[in-house]
């Protein structure tokens, strides 16, 4: 039998009573460390006057953040090791509004928005395993503002701008405008469905490309006159809505377009965002004005509506996301008097985030869920990372 300590001797020159007190102290410190509660909400420091508009996560698990002031100024940053580092502003990566982004099939990431190089050319930031580089768009546009980007046919990059549609096919650039058949040069959304049809939403209407040919809807087609968002659901149906329109929501079932409006059960005829949650239910967020908006839920047959103040913290809903527990989060950038904050639906109850000390985000710009299932909340009050546990939701909504 081995004896580590002997009451009448010293071990390593340390009296036994001192050694015992040292061991007790170490055990207490270890116990205290284990008892430290998990940081449920963490705020990320961003440059003053800038806000997060776009997020992408790279293969290493770092989150890239596109920042903007809501106009043409901004920056590109990377969040790693609990800090956001701004990498734009140098000669190689110009500053500008990085409010739009896409992830390519090889895992590379492209950010853009309103970014010009020293010669005034539109510039994109390309993030790959080789590092950060830039892509120059070889066209001088009247309004070089990027509204959206999309990957088409797995290798092509399509960019919707305020001056037409720009395409990059294996390094070859081309441009499509109203002279080529677009109903408007302001391209707001791009979506390729599983049929390989690429839908283009513009301020003047919706068109589509099939095998490189541009098509326009026939006269009398039941489709909204302008659109700002396109969405493909789990059935392959294509949905279209307009933030600033009043025509309702249109849906394409693979053969025909149809349109829903207030008389069919929508809470509002404007559409800010689409989100598909559990069991295939489709959420449609509306935010036409500060005092007008809400959420409509389509179960495949009928619409159900949820308004303020009965269910929502405020009328404006521009951002919707589901967390790992199936809770659905709703936010918007417009406030109206006392109508403020974020709403969480847990499948049964509608909860309002009232603990503004823990989460002061009120005017929400966007949500993002990373590979660790954390929810990023971008707002005009700041950028926050949330661990969406039941404990966290309870603390956020208990006041």
Domains and CATH numbers, the chain: 261-399 (2.130.10.10)
Average pLDDT over residues 133-158: 95
For residue 70, pLDDT over 50 is answered with yes
Task: Provide the β-strand partners of residue 107.
Answer: none
DSSP track, 141-175: -SS--EEEEEEETTTEEEEEETTEEEEEETTEEEE
Residue 205: strand pairing partners: 202
The string of DSSP letters for 110-142 reads: EEEEEEB-TTS-BEEEEEETTEEEEEE-----S
Phi, then psi, of 232 in degrees rounded to 5: -115, 125
SS3 168: strand
Closest CA to 238 of 267, 201, 287: 201
Residue 36 pLDDT greater than 90, yes or no: no
Q: Mean pLDDT lowest for which of 30-39, 83-92, 105-114, 191-200?
A: 30-39
**How far is it, in rounded angstroms, from Cα 288 to Cα 275?**
18
Residue 341: which residues within 8 A CB-CB, separation 6 or more? 313, 314, 352, 353, 354, 356, 362
* Tokens, residue 337: 């008097």
pLDDT-derived band at 337 (thresholds 50, 70, 90) equals confident
> Stretch 59-81: mean pLDDT, rounded?
96
- pLDDT digits 0-9 by tens, 165-213: 999 999 999 999 999 999 999 999 999 999 999 999 999 999 999 999 9
For residue 392, what is the DSSP state?
H
- Which of 232, 271, 270 has the alpha carbon at shortest distance from 251? 232
Question: What does the DSSP assignment read for 83-95?
Answer: EEEE--SSSSS--
- Tokens (6 digits) for 68: 């903007």
Please give the full DSSP string across 195-214, using - where no structure is assigned. TS-EEEEETTEEEEEETTEE
- Please check the confidence at residue 91 and state whether its pLDDT lies above 80: no
Residue 332: which of 268, 295, 287 has the closest Cα?
287
Q: How sure is the predictor about 33, in pLDDT bands with cuts at 50, 70 and 90?
A: very low
pLDDT grade for 2, boundaries at 50, 70 and 90:
very low
In which band, very low, low, confident or very high, does the pLDDT at 17 lie, cut at 50, 70 and 90?
Answer: low
* pLDDT confidence bin for 320, thresholds 50/70/90: very high
Segment holding 379, helix H or strand E: strand 375-379
The pLDDT value recorded for residue 11 is 43
d(Cα 319, Cα 284) in Å, to the nearest integer?
10
1 has pLDDT over 50: no
Give strand pairing partners of 77. Answer: 65, 86
Q: Is the pLDDT of residue 375 over 90?
A: yes
CB of 98 within 8 A of CB of 54? Answer: yes
Place of tokens 């284990």: 34
Mean pLDDT score of the chain: 90
């Amino acid at each position: 039998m081995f004896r580590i300590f002997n009451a009448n001797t010293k071990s390593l020159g340390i009296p036994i009573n001192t050694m015992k007190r040292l061991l007790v102290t170490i055990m207490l410190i270890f116990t205290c460390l284990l008892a430290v509660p998990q940081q449920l909400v963490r705020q990320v420091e961003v440059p003053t006057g800038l806000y997060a508009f776009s997020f992408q996560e790279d293969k290493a698990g770092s989150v890239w953040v596109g920042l903007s002031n809501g106009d043409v100024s901004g920056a590109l940053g990377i969040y790693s090791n609990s800090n956001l580092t701004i990498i734009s502003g140098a000669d190689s990566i110009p500053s500008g509004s990085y409010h739009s982004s896409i992830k390519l099939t090889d895992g590379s990431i492209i950010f853009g928005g309103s970014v010009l190089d020293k010669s005034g050319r539109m510039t994109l930031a390309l993030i790959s395993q080789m590092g950060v580089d830039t892509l120059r768009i070889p066209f001088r546009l009247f309004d070089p503002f990027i509204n959206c980007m999309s990957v088409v046919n797995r290798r092509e990059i399509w960019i919707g701008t305020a001056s037409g549609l720009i395409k990059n096919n294996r390094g070859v650039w081309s441009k499509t405008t109203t002279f080529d058949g677009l109903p408007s040069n302001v391209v707001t959304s791009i979506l390729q469905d599983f049929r390989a049809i690429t839908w283009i939403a513009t301020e003047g209407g919706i068109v589509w490309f099939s095998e490189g040919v541009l098509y326009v809807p026939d006269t009398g087609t039941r489709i909204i006159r302008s659109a700002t968002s396109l969405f493909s659901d789990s059935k392959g149906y294509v949905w279209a809505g307009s933030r600033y329109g009043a025509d309702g929501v249109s849906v394409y079932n693979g053969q025909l377009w149809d349109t829903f409006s207030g008389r069919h059960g929508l809470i509002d005829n404007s559409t800010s965002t689409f989100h598909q949650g559990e069991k295939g239910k489709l959420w449609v967020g509306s935010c036409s004005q500060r005092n007008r908006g809400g959420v409509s839920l389509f179960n495949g047959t009928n619409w159900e509506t949820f308004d303020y103040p009965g269910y929502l913290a405020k009328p404006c809903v521009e951002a919707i996301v589901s967390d790992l527990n199936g809770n659905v989060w709703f936010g918007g950038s417009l406030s109206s008097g006392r109508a403020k904050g974020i709403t969480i639906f847990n499948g049964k109850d509608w909860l309002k985030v009232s603990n503004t000390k823990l989460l002061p985000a009120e005017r929400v710009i966007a949500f993002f869920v990373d590979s660790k299932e954390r929810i990023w909340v971008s707002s005009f009050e700041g950028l926050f990372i949330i661990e969406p546990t039941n404990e966290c939701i309870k603390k956020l909504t208990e006041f």
